[in-house]
Protein backbone atom coordinates (compact mmCIF):
# COMPACT_ATOMS: atom_id res chain seq x y z
CA UNK A 1 0.00 0.00 0.00
CA UNK A 2 1.17 3.53 -0.68
CA UNK A 3 2.02 5.93 2.13
CA UNK A 4 -0.97 8.05 1.13
CA UNK A 5 -3.38 5.11 1.25
CA UNK A 6 -2.22 4.00 4.68
CA UNK A 7 -2.42 7.49 6.14
CA UNK A 8 -5.83 8.06 4.64
CA UNK A 9 -7.08 4.75 6.00
CA UNK A 10 -6.01 5.78 9.52
CA UNK A 11 -7.64 9.18 9.04
CA UNK A 12 -10.99 7.63 8.12
CA UNK A 13 -10.77 4.88 10.71
CA UNK A 14 -9.98 7.05 13.72
CA UNK A 15 -11.25 10.47 12.59
CA UNK A 16 -10.36 12.98 15.29
CA UNK A 17 -10.38 10.49 18.13
CA UNK A 18 -6.84 9.19 17.86
CA UNK A 19 -3.68 11.04 16.84
CA UNK A 20 -1.50 9.18 14.40
CA UNK A 21 2.17 9.99 14.80
CA UNK A 22 4.21 9.05 11.77
CA UNK A 23 7.53 7.80 13.12
CA UNK A 24 10.00 8.97 10.51
CA UNK A 25 13.30 7.97 12.09
CA UNK A 26 15.76 6.71 9.47
CA UNK A 27 13.29 7.38 6.66
CA UNK A 28 13.97 9.43 3.53
CA UNK A 29 12.78 13.01 3.05
CA UNK A 30 10.90 11.88 -0.05
CA UNK A 31 8.77 9.51 1.98
CA UNK A 32 8.22 12.11 4.67
CA UNK A 33 7.09 14.67 2.11
CA UNK A 34 4.71 12.11 0.66
CA UNK A 35 3.20 11.65 4.12
CA UNK A 36 2.98 15.42 4.57
CA UNK A 37 1.21 15.80 1.24
CA UNK A 38 -1.28 13.17 2.37
CA UNK A 39 -2.23 15.46 5.22
CA UNK A 40 0.04 14.04 7.92
CA UNK A 41 1.22 16.73 10.38
CA UNK A 42 2.41 14.80 13.44
CA UNK A 43 5.86 13.27 13.02
CA UNK A 44 7.91 11.39 15.58
CA UNK A 45 11.66 10.94 15.94
CA UNK A 46 13.58 9.02 18.57
CA UNK A 47 16.97 10.71 18.41
CA UNK A 48 17.69 14.34 19.19
CA UNK A 49 20.45 14.68 16.59
CA UNK A 50 18.28 13.39 13.78
CA UNK A 51 15.31 15.50 14.83
CA UNK A 52 17.20 18.79 15.00
CA UNK A 53 18.79 18.09 11.65
CA UNK A 54 15.49 17.29 9.92
CA UNK A 55 13.08 19.78 11.44
CA UNK A 56 14.38 22.92 9.65
CA UNK A 57 14.08 21.16 6.27
CA UNK A 58 10.32 20.65 6.56
CA UNK A 59 7.27 22.93 6.59
CA UNK A 60 6.80 24.64 9.92
CA UNK A 61 3.25 23.48 10.51
CA UNK A 62 4.57 20.03 11.37
CA UNK A 63 4.18 19.03 15.02
CA UNK A 64 7.40 17.29 16.04
CA UNK A 65 7.11 14.58 18.67
CA UNK A 66 10.22 13.38 20.46
CA UNK A 67 9.61 9.74 21.34
CA UNK A 68 13.07 8.51 22.37
CA UNK A 69 15.24 9.03 25.43
CA UNK A 70 16.36 12.64 25.95
CA UNK A 71 19.47 13.61 27.87
CA UNK A 72 19.06 16.82 29.86
CA UNK A 73 21.99 18.48 28.10
CA UNK A 74 20.14 18.11 24.76
CA UNK A 75 16.93 19.79 25.89
CA UNK A 76 18.10 23.23 24.82
CA UNK A 77 18.21 22.09 21.20
CA UNK A 78 14.63 20.82 21.27
CA UNK A 79 12.98 23.51 23.35
CA UNK A 80 12.66 26.13 20.58
CA UNK A 81 10.42 23.99 18.41
CA UNK A 82 9.42 20.57 19.75
CA UNK A 83 5.67 20.04 20.18
CA UNK A 84 5.57 17.12 22.57
CA UNK A 85 8.06 14.90 24.40
CA UNK A 86 6.67 11.40 24.93
CA UNK A 87 9.67 10.02 26.75
CA UNK A 88 10.03 12.04 29.94
CA UNK A 89 11.60 9.66 32.42
CA UNK A 90 13.08 11.69 35.28
CA UNK A 91 12.39 14.59 37.61
CA UNK A 92 15.60 16.19 36.41
CA UNK A 93 14.28 16.15 32.86
CA UNK A 94 10.95 17.68 33.89
CA UNK A 95 12.75 20.55 35.61
CA UNK A 96 15.08 21.08 32.69
CA UNK A 97 12.25 21.06 30.16
CA UNK A 98 10.36 23.63 32.16
CA UNK A 99 13.41 25.88 32.39
CA UNK A 100 14.30 25.68 28.70
CA UNK A 101 10.69 26.09 27.57
CA UNK A 102 10.57 29.18 29.74
CA UNK A 103 13.76 30.51 28.09
CA UNK A 104 11.99 30.13 24.77
CA UNK A 105 8.70 31.56 25.96
CA UNK A 106 6.97 28.34 25.08
CA UNK A 107 4.83 25.63 26.58
CA UNK A 108 5.96 22.09 25.80
CA UNK A 109 3.63 19.15 26.19
CA UNK A 110 5.12 16.20 28.04
CA UNK A 111 4.15 12.60 28.52
CA UNK A 112 5.50 10.56 31.39
CA UNK A 113 7.05 7.37 30.11
CA UNK A 114 6.15 4.37 32.23
CA UNK A 115 8.14 1.20 32.28
CA UNK A 116 5.60 -1.51 31.46
CA UNK A 117 7.70 -4.00 29.49
CA UNK A 118 9.63 -6.85 30.99
CA UNK A 119 12.87 -5.79 29.27
CA UNK A 120 15.00 -3.90 31.76
CA UNK A 121 16.78 -1.77 29.16
CA UNK A 122 13.65 0.18 28.34
CA UNK A 123 13.36 3.57 29.98
CA UNK A 124 10.59 4.89 32.17
CA UNK A 125 9.24 5.63 35.62
CA UNK A 126 7.55 3.18 37.90
CA UNK A 127 4.43 4.19 39.79
CA UNK A 128 6.12 4.63 43.18
CA UNK A 129 8.53 7.16 41.70
CA UNK A 130 5.73 9.11 40.07
CA UNK A 131 3.64 9.12 43.18
CA UNK A 132 6.58 10.49 45.13
CA UNK A 133 7.42 13.14 42.52
CA UNK A 134 3.89 14.49 42.30
CA UNK A 135 3.34 14.35 46.03
CA UNK A 136 6.61 16.06 46.93
CA UNK A 137 6.83 18.65 44.16
CA UNK A 138 4.60 21.57 43.49
CA UNK A 139 4.30 20.56 39.90
CA UNK A 140 1.83 23.34 39.14
CA UNK A 141 4.83 25.67 39.44
CA UNK A 142 6.14 24.17 36.23
CA UNK A 143 4.42 26.81 34.15
CA UNK A 144 6.06 25.98 30.85
CA UNK A 145 5.30 22.32 30.55
CA UNK A 146 1.95 20.63 30.32
CA UNK A 147 1.91 17.10 31.62
CA UNK A 148 -0.48 15.66 29.10
CA UNK A 149 -0.56 11.96 29.91
CA UNK A 150 1.45 8.77 29.72
CA UNK A 151 3.50 6.83 27.22
CA UNK A 152 4.60 3.22 27.27
CA UNK A 153 6.18 0.55 25.12
CA UNK A 154 5.12 -3.06 25.40
CA UNK A 155 7.55 -5.94 25.49
CA UNK A 156 8.92 -6.95 22.10
CA UNK A 157 7.11 -10.26 21.70
CA UNK A 158 4.60 -12.14 19.60
CA UNK A 159 2.57 -12.91 22.70
CA UNK A 160 -0.43 -10.66 22.06
CA UNK A 161 -1.97 -11.48 25.42
CA UNK A 162 1.11 -10.21 27.19
CA UNK A 163 1.09 -7.01 25.14
CA UNK A 164 -2.57 -6.50 25.95
CA UNK A 165 -1.93 -6.94 29.68
CA UNK A 166 0.87 -4.37 29.57
CA UNK A 167 -1.35 -1.83 27.81
CA UNK A 168 -4.10 -2.50 30.34
CA UNK A 169 -1.64 -1.83 33.12
CA UNK A 170 -0.66 1.46 31.50
CA UNK A 171 -4.30 2.51 31.21
CA UNK A 172 -4.85 1.61 34.84
CA UNK A 173 -1.87 3.78 35.87
CA UNK A 174 -3.25 6.58 33.72
CA UNK A 175 -6.59 6.44 35.54
CA UNK A 176 -4.93 6.36 38.96
CA UNK A 177 -2.66 9.33 38.28
CA UNK A 178 -5.42 11.34 36.67
CA UNK A 179 -7.69 10.77 39.63
CA UNK A 180 -5.04 11.52 42.21
CA UNK A 181 -3.19 14.49 40.72
CA UNK A 182 -4.65 15.77 37.47
CA UNK A 183 -8.38 15.69 37.89
CA UNK A 184 -8.74 19.46 37.71
CA UNK A 185 -6.75 19.76 34.47
CA UNK A 186 -8.23 19.39 31.02
CA UNK A 187 -4.94 18.43 29.37
CA UNK A 188 -3.95 15.23 31.16
CA UNK A 189 -5.75 13.06 28.62
CA UNK A 190 -3.28 11.36 26.29
CA UNK A 191 -2.26 7.74 26.29
CA UNK A 192 0.56 7.14 23.80
CA UNK A 193 0.79 3.43 23.14
CA UNK A 194 0.80 1.17 20.12
CA UNK A 195 3.27 0.73 17.27
CA UNK A 196 3.11 -0.95 13.87
CA UNK A 197 2.71 -4.46 15.23
CA UNK A 198 0.40 -3.84 18.17
CA UNK A 199 -1.61 -0.68 17.49
CA UNK A 200 -4.95 -2.45 17.14
CA UNK A 201 -4.60 -3.86 20.65
CA UNK A 202 -3.54 -0.44 21.91
CA UNK A 203 -6.67 1.13 20.42
CA UNK A 204 -8.86 -1.46 22.10
CA UNK A 205 -7.17 -0.69 25.41
CA UNK A 206 -7.65 3.05 25.20
CA UNK A 207 -4.76 4.59 23.25
CA UNK A 208 -5.24 8.20 22.13
CA UNK A 209 -1.93 8.42 20.27
CA UNK A 210 -0.32 5.80 18.04
CA UNK A 211 3.36 5.92 17.12
CA UNK A 212 3.66 4.14 13.81
CA UNK A 213 6.76 3.89 11.67
CA UNK A 214 7.43 0.86 9.50
CA UNK A 215 3.77 0.23 8.66
CA UNK A 216 3.59 3.68 7.01
CA UNK A 217 7.07 4.07 5.58
CA UNK A 218 8.37 0.53 5.17
CA UNK A 219 11.59 -0.78 6.63
CA UNK A 220 14.09 1.70 7.97
CA UNK A 221 17.45 2.35 6.29
Ligand X SMILES: *Cc1c(COP(=O)(O)O)cnc(C)c1O
Q: Which residues bind ligand X (CB under 6 A)?
A: 23, 25, 46, 67-68, 153, 195-197, 211-215
Query: How many angstroms separate the CA atoms of 152 and 205, rounded?
Result: 13
Closest to ligand X by CB, 142 or 163: 163
Closest to ligand X by CB, 23 or 112: 23
Closest to ligand X by CB, 36 or 181: 36
Cβ 58 to ligand X, closest distance in Å? 18
Cα dihedral 214, 218, 219, 221 sign: negative
Helix (H) or strand (E) holding 210: strand 209-212
Query: How many angstroms separate the CA atoms of 193 and 208, rounded?
Result: 8
Residue by residue, DSSP assigns 77-111 as: HHTTT--EEEEE--HHHHHHHHHHHHHTT--EEEE
Cβ 8 to ligand X, closest distance in Å? 18
Cβ 31 to ligand X, closest distance in Å? 13
Provide CB contacts within 8 A for 126, sequence distance 6+: 114, 115
Closest to ligand X by CB, 149 or 213: 213
Closest by alpha carbon to 25, among 4, 5, 48, 45?
A: 45
Q: Which residue is nearest to ligand X (CB)?
A: 213
Closest to ligand X by CB, 87 or 98: 87
Query: How many angstroms separate the CA atoms of 166 and 37, rounded?
Result: 35
Cβ 202 to ligand X, closest distance in Å? 11
Cβ 169 to ligand X, closest distance in Å? 17
Amino acid sequence: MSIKKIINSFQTKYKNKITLIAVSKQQSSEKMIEAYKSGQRDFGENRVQELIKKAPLFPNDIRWHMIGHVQTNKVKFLAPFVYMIHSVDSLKLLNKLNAEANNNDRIIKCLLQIHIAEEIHKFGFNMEELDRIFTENDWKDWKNIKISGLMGMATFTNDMQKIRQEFQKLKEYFDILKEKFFNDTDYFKELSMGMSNDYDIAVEEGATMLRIGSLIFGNRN
